[in-house]
Amino acid sequence: MVSTSMSKYKTSGYKGSCDYGKSDEREGRSCVRYKCGLLNTIQDVLRQRPNWVEVKDDGEWDFNWCDVGWLRENFGHTYMEEHVRINHFRNHYELTRKNLMVKNLKRYQKNLERDMGRVEASRCDFFPCTFALPSEYHLFVEEFNRSPGSTWIMKPVAKSQGKGIFLFRKLKDIMDWKKDGTRSEEQKDFAQVENYVAQRYIEKPYLINGRKFDLRVYVLVTSYVPLKAWLYRDGFARFSGTRFSLSSIDDKYMHLTNVSVQKTAPDYDPEKGCKWQMQQLRRYLTAKHGREMVETLFKEMDNIFVRSLQSVQKVIINDKHCFELYGYDILLDQNLKPWLIEVNASPSHTPSSQEDYEMKCRLLEDTLNVVDMEGRLTGKEKRVGGYDLMWNDGPVYREDVNLQTSGSLCFTANTHLGCVNDREKQLRRLLKPFPYQKKV
């Protein structure tokens, strides 16, 4: 069954785990009762999962894929039995609100410098200079005046999809934005009630064919205490549709890579889209810069994922019922240095093409495989489908530890972002048939 919103994309190219065994033999609890508050790809994936049954309204559920609004209203007074799972941590916003993410990273970096020294703290130099407004306005003005002519970007802290974002080079532009009659009523309204971040704009991004892009990477956290995080092999680069230039800072199609922005461009081609799969990007960069430089880039991205999670580890309310699928937005500069732009608690699962739909189906299917409502895993796995265990109360290394010429062991991180995702083959080896099913 395909949900109405996804009906234009075919599910035939995507096969759920139901292929690993087909029988109606059942014993014990015969199904997983799920609730889903979203009408996009996740609904398709849940409906295709064997022995998962959707419950409506106030029905009892074992698994809930909810939006953050439902969580805010219901989490505090919902009793959950041992086996129950829900797709957000209670205060997920400590990492996913732009101002709180920066606040936590700054505090973490400061503590690192105090405890471990400046060199270790410099490992957190991966987010642009950022100030929360209006609370840090005076600090921002001091920094702004140190580098006149620099470009800054203004973002509402809790908006997504590029809403309310603009670039500026003069302080009066911020004042104008709050009161300017040319701005929309919506913008003027939330100017009075919403907080923003002012962030130094990356003026020299890495360009491909003259166009700016950012990366969307998926990280799944199944526990904060101890920290257990998985990195997905697939992801994508999102390109702007207009050649990059700093001569025009008002052109949103040039500076914002959000698909929701790009698809409103007059010359947007939905068939062509504005995405590259992560494997394509990795191949391109390797061909241009060599394997060693690209491996360094991807290691630096691994560092971003782990450090950012560690920065909120002590403030996130850990709960064995919760997991979180984060969408990381990373920007590369002209020196191939990765910068953390933001982290999303509800990364869009609405597809922009058939290829995008199939990738998101794989991602969500494997998220369910890791969460493992069916109890098919041992808990010692380093890989489940397209997910590789990146951190498990400490770094996780690959099985193939190499002996270097000196004879010392060389440990390589167990991450494969942008590498081959032979998930179906791996899942067949890994997973027992679904409970109540026999292999055929």
CB 84 within 8 Å of CB 62: yes
pLDDT of 199: 93
105 and 308 Cβ atoms separated by less than 8 Å? yes
Q: 186-216: per-residue pLDDT in tens?
A: 554 444 546 899 999 999 999 999 999 999 9
Return d(Cα 211, Cα 214) in angstroms, integer. 10
What is the structure's pLDDT at 264? 53
Report the pLDDT value the prediction gives residue 272, as an integer from 0 to 100.
Answer: 57
Q: Output the pLDDT for position 159.
A: 67
pLDDT digits (tens, 9 = 90+) for 74-109: 887 778 899 999 999 999 999 999 999 999 999 999
What is the sign, positive or negative, of the torsion defined by CA atoms of 199, 200, 205, 211?
Answer: positive
- Paired sense of beta strands 166-168 and 152-156, if any: antiparallel
Res 30: pLDDT: 72
In this prediction, residues 316-341 reach a mean pLDDT of: 96
Residues of the chain with CATH 3.30.470.20: 62-127+210-401+409-431
Three state DSSP letters for the chain: CCCHHHCCCCCCCCCCHHHHCCCCCCCCCCCEEEEECCCCHHHHHHHCCCCEEECCCCCCCCEEECCHHHHHHHHHHCCCCCCCEECCCCCCHHHHCHHHHHHHHHHHHHHHHHHHCHHHHHHHCCCCCEEEECCCHHHHHHHHHHCCCCCEEEEECCCCCCCCCEEECCHHHHHHHHHCCCCCHHHHHHHHHCCEEEEECCCCECEECCEEEEEEEEEEEEEECCEEEEEEEEEEEEECCCCCCCCCCCCHHHHCCCHHHHCCCCCCCCCCCCEEEHHHHHHHHHHHHCHHHHHHHHHHHHHHHHHHHHHHCCCCCCCCCECEEEEEEEEEECCCCEEEEEEECCCCCCCCCHHHHHHHHHHHHHHHHHHCCCCCCCCCCCEECCEEEEEECCECECCCCEECCCCCEECCECCCCCCCCCHHHHHHHHCCCCCCCCCC
Span between the terminal Cα atoms of the chain, in Å? 24
Place of tokens 């099913």: 437
Judge: domain 129-177+193-201, CATH 3.40.50: no
Distance CA 304, CA 95 (A): 13
pLDDT tens by residue, 286-311: 999 999 999 999 999 999 999 999 99
CATH architecture of the domain with range 62-127+210-401+409-431: 2-Layer Sandwich (3.30)
| Phi/psi of residue 426, nearest 5 degrees | -65, -40
Mean pLDDT of 394-414: 70
pLDDT 10s digits, 358-400: 999 999 999 999 999 999 999 999 999 999 999 999 999 987 6
Q: pLDDT of 226-237, one tens digit each?
A: 999 999 999 999
* The pLDDT of residue 350: 85
pLDDT reported for residue 167: 87
- What distance in Å separates the CA atoms of residue 344 and residue 139, rounded to the nearest whole number? 27
Query: Where does the chain hold its CATH 3.30.1490 domain(s)?
Result: 129-177+193-201
- Specify the range with the lowest mean pLDDT, choosing from 96-110, 121-135, 259-273, 319-333: 259-273
pLDDT higher than 70, residue 285: yes
Q: Is the pLDDT of residue 340 over 60?
A: yes
Examine the pLDDT at 3 and tell me if it is beyond 80. Answer: no
Q: What is the pLDDT of residue 380?
A: 95
Most distant CA pair in the chain, distance:
72
